[in-house]
Amino acid sequence: MGDREKYPRPSVTADAVVFAVESGVPLVLLIRREREPFQGRWAIPGGFCEPSESVEQAAARELEEETRLNGVALEQLHTYSAPGRDPRGWVISVAHVGTIPAARMAEAKGGDDASETRWWRVSERADGGLSLSSGGETAGPLAFDHDDVLRAALAWFRARAAP
């Protein structure tokens, strides 16, 4: 048996957290998942990498497929690999983060396996958690481990990209 058969191989996904600032408030773009797992829940745009692409290319492709946003400069944020983070099996995800000008926010539209996109106002609660609100609605817990991903992305945003 060769080494390839000896070791199990994970699936790899790439996620893209995109922020915009409106009236001095950070907003994050989320998609509503159209399929299981977590059908109907809000999530960060992302998906599985194709064998012919890098994780950076996959993040940009998934962002465009699910939100119609393209040309967003994305920076690698962190790799998420906790066992059980995805109910479909062993999935490692490389999260990316970027910002767009508020003038581009209207370009975001749901596509592929996203039934809807929406910009959410992000604020930190006293207990250290995040609060997401949009049009009087609040987002419950995000799909997968995306609450953790968003918390790290918000720290990145505040340290590097905040006006």
First to last CA, the chain: 56
78 has a pLDDT exceeding 60: yes
If you write DSSP's letter for every residue of 63-110 in order, what string do you get?
HHHHH---S---EEEEEE--TTSSTTSSEEEEEEEEE--GGGGGG---
The pLDDT of 63-83, averaged and rounded, is 97
The pLDDT of 22-46, averaged and rounded, is 95
Q: How far apart are CA 77 and CA 152, in angstroms?
A: 8
User: What pLDDT, on a 0 to 100 scale, did the predictor assign at position 161?
Assistant: 56
115 has a pLDDT exceeding 90: no
User: What amino acid is encoded at 75 in this protein?
Assistant: E
pTM: 0.94
Contacts (Cβ under 8 Å, ≥6 apart) of 47: 13, 14, 58, 62, 65, 66, 112, 113
The pLDDT of 135-144, averaged and rounded, is 94
Interstrand relation of 46-48 and 91-99 (parallel, antiparallel or unpaired) = unpaired
H or E element in which residue 42 lies? strand 42-43
The pLDDT of 64-89, averaged and rounded, is 97
* Look-up of token digits 């396996």: 113
Residue 125's pLDDT band (cuts 50, 70, 90): confident
User: What pLDDT, on a 0 to 100 scale, did the predictor assign at position 12?
Assistant: 98
The pLDDT of 8-22, averaged and rounded, is 96
Domains and CATH numbers, the chain: 9-158 (3.90.79.10)
Query: What average pLDDT does the chain have?
Result: 93
80 has a pLDDT exceeding 90: yes
User: What pLDDT, on a 0 to 100 scale, did the predictor assign at position 74?
Assistant: 98
> Lowest-pLDDT range, 42-51, 106-115, 148-157?
106-115
